[in-house]
A and B are shown apart, each in its own frame.
Chain A
Amino acid sequence: MKHLSEYRDPGLVQQYLYELHRITQGSWTLMEICGGQTHSLVKNGILDMLPPGITMVHGPGCPVCVTPVSVIDEAIYLAQQPGVILCSFGDMLRVPGSSTNLLEAKAKGADVRILYSPLEAVQLAVANPSKEVVFFAVGFETTAPANALSVIQAHKLNLSNYSILTSHVLVPPAMEAILQDQENTIDAFLAAGHVCAIMGMEEYYPIAEKYKIPIVITGFEPVDLLQGILMAVQQLENGEYQVQNQYARAVNRQGNILAKETIHEVFEISDRTWRGIGNIPCSGYEVTEMYRKYNSRLKFDLNLPYVAENKECISGAIMKGLKKPFQCPNFGNKCKPENPLGAPMVSSEGACAAYYHYASTQVSQYS
């Protein structure tokens, strides 16, 4: 991909690193929100290249990681019902529920399909009128427009065999929940570029102002990340706290208006439970009353017993930036991708998986 090479240019990376080493005086803790950013930092070996004064902690922006056990259980339960085709993004299949995961359920006969887009699920519903097609609608603001669009499309087609099991979460309320934690040590955020491409920048100004914290909307490539870190550190060194946009090639202030309208057509703000963090008020989306017949929870009258999270998994502390993956006593021994205690070890964007798979030899000495 030619348009990506300029954001992976080793010469530019060296320039940003040089500047970062030159200006960093204080000791700063930065949180990158998105799991994609975490993976890029680790995969490219950037963590070891930063000045010693800069500590990166890894945020909750991995939709797979924050989906609670109880919702995974709902998906597994639905997949096991006769006549149901459960469609999911591939990432969700290995995430542990309370007793099994979707991959095992599939191996035991449940009809679980990996799709790339919810619109494929709508096509599947059209092609299988005698089946109930459920799409496991997981994700942050990034996947919400396509998931909403699938409901609108199903409605236009007058489909009665399509519904979505939502576990939609939102970034700004999670940032506030993290900042309100007494133990938090975060000095600046790198906000998730693709979330802001949809939602715009407006939601972040009140947070920067209220908590006096710099927020830099940042992309995912090495040059993006280093530029984002540099912008944040420049603010910190100067005692500023602004919202800045590093990812201007994709993000503007108002966001994608059409995508936001699509979201608001189908979804309304609701409370959400986050795996490892707990309930955060007004931190997710649920299907509105108008589209209630496309809400799998109502359609199948889901009312599964509450299941507590696995206490051995410290995913909450990791996603709030209080702990690094290798500070977990179970990291790499009791908890591995093939036998995870929690979602951050299996998701392709989970912080624990990033450290387990890619962490440099220096970092992995801790494991």
Chain B
Amino acid sequence: MKTSCPLPKFDFDVITLGHGGGGLLTHRLLQNGVFDILGNDLLDQQHDGASFPLSGNVAFSTDSYVISPFIFPGGNIGELAVNGTVNDLAMCGAIPKYLSLSFIIEEGLSMSDFFQVLLSIKQAAHKAEVKIVTGDTKVVEQGKGDKLFINTSGIGIIHPGASIHHKRIKPGDQIIVSGCIATHGIAIMSVRKGLEFETTIVSDTVNLNHTITGLLDRFGNDIKFLRDPTRGGIASVLNEVAELTRLGFSIDQNNLPIMEQVEGACEMLGLDPLYVANEGIFIAIVNRNVATDFLAQLNADSNGTEAAIIGEVTLDHPGKVVMKSRIGGKRVVNFLTGDQLPRIC
């Protein structure tokens, strides 16, 4: 499979309402663009849906992507939409196989931007070894969307060694984060309108499925829980699982991996990195006995070089996440209410 190809030639510089109308323009856009770039044996059937055999337990997940701006430092909405759903499946302990892909395009989107996104989708799908097997394209009037929205849904087959469930979490289990926190959220914020600041921080969006499969191969059911802490950051994931298990989650600020630049940007903007969105990292809760080996394997993987054990599950403070601060004090890490809003001074 080729991972790069030139932009196809079109009569239009921008997407118009006609491209979503189902007529000739739609046909051309799909034939010369989408199918040509993303084609595979299942998509090429061009039915109303894809049909394929599956065996074993499956995981099924869906997510919508509305990121603004849709092209950002380190990536664009296309690879985000592939990686996001691939990672959601991986967090279920599944090996992702097939994705659906739907576009909602605001009229006026430039054709070259659209194809940049399509190419990223192709490359991300190739890297994650998943097939785009069905999809949809709609065009809405100007002002009724924000340039480009994408929905992807995905199906994966549960890894035979996986047993991911919050009910299996026990006191003493170790909490591991696979990489630096808050990088993606700050990369996006650095280019958001009205907030531009100069930085070299780029999004860490990446597919994590191969990393997860490698860990499941070796550690199997010693891995109790996996989650990618996207919106709401690691604080939200830990709070959700604390609430579900009624166990205490204790973390140490000194062990949290965070890039110096990201921490500086958070200081400047008045944001708490614990609540800032992530893309290319996951949180794992694993049996204490395997934690060191798990971390060593992760550290040897390109997606886990900064991974660290950040804390453990405890019987203390049930249902609450408590963080030991850098200076040795303790604080509760709570759910966030709505978005973090920048402060006055």
Contact = CB atoms under 8 A, between A and B. Distances in A.
Given A45-B331, A116-B195, A90 B345 contact: no
A356 interface: yes
B330 A36 contact: no
5 contacts: A116-B342, A139-B344, A349-B344, A358-B333, A360-B329
Contact of A348 (B322, B332, B341): B341
B302 interface: no
A92 B343 CA distance: 8
B143 interface: no
B231 to A, nearest CB: 17
A115 B345 CA distance: 12
Judged by DSSP, the binding face of B is: loop
A63 B344 contact: yes
A44 B260 contact: no
B337 A10 contact: no
Interface-central residue, B194, B264, B316, B344, by most chain A CB under 10 Å: B344
B53 interface: no
A361 B328 contact: no
A338 B194 CA distance: 26
B341 A90 contact: yes
Contacts of B263: 1
A140 interface: yes
B341 A44 contact: no
B327 A89 contact: no
A198 to B, nearest CB: 10
A307 B340 CA distance: 29
B326 interface: yes
Contacts of A349: 343-344
Contact of A90 (B322, B325, B343): B343
B267 A4 contact: yes
A46 interface: yes
Given A36-B345, A90-B341, A1 B331 contact: no
Contact of B325 (A43, A114, A347, A348): A43
Given A44-B326, A349-B344, 19 more contacts: A1-B263, A1-B267, A8-B326, A13-B328, A46-B327, A90-B342, A93-B341, A222-B326, A348-B343, A349-B343, A357-B332, A357-B334, A358-B331, A358-B334, A359-B331, A360-B322, A361-B316, A361-B317, A361-B332
B344 A10 contact: no
Contacts of B340: 348
B270 A348 contact: yes
B341 A360 contact: no
Given A8-B327, A113-B194, A348-B270, A143 B345 contact: yes
B320 interface: yes
A43 B331 contact: yes
Q: Which of B317, B326, B337, B338 has the most CB of A within 10 A?
A: B337
Given A13-B328, A361-B317, A139 B345 contact: yes
A42 interface: yes
A44 B329 contact: yes
Name the interface size band of chain A: 35 or more
A140 B337 contact: no
Interface residues of B, number: 30
B31 to A, nearest CB: 41
Contacts of B344: 63-64, 89, 91-92, 138-139, 143, 349
Interface in A178-208: 194
B343 A114 contact: no
Nearest to A124: B194
B323 to A, nearest CB: 9
A42 to B, nearest CB: 7
B327 A42 contact: no
Contacts of A338: 337-338
A45 B329 contact: yes
A33 B290 CA distance: 49
B329 A49 contact: yes
A-B pairs, top 4 by smallest CB distance, nearest first, are A45-B329, A90-B341, A337-B337, A90-B342
A48 B194 contact: no
A320 interface: no
A361 B322 contact: yes
Nearest to B266: A1
Contacts of A194: 345
Contact of A10 (B320, B328, B334): B328
A46 B338 contact: no
Interface string A135-158: 000111011000000000000000
Contacts of B322: 360-361
A2 interface: yes
Contacts of A94: 337-338, 341
Contacts of B320: 361
A200 B341 CA distance: 29
A364 interface: yes
A237 interface: no
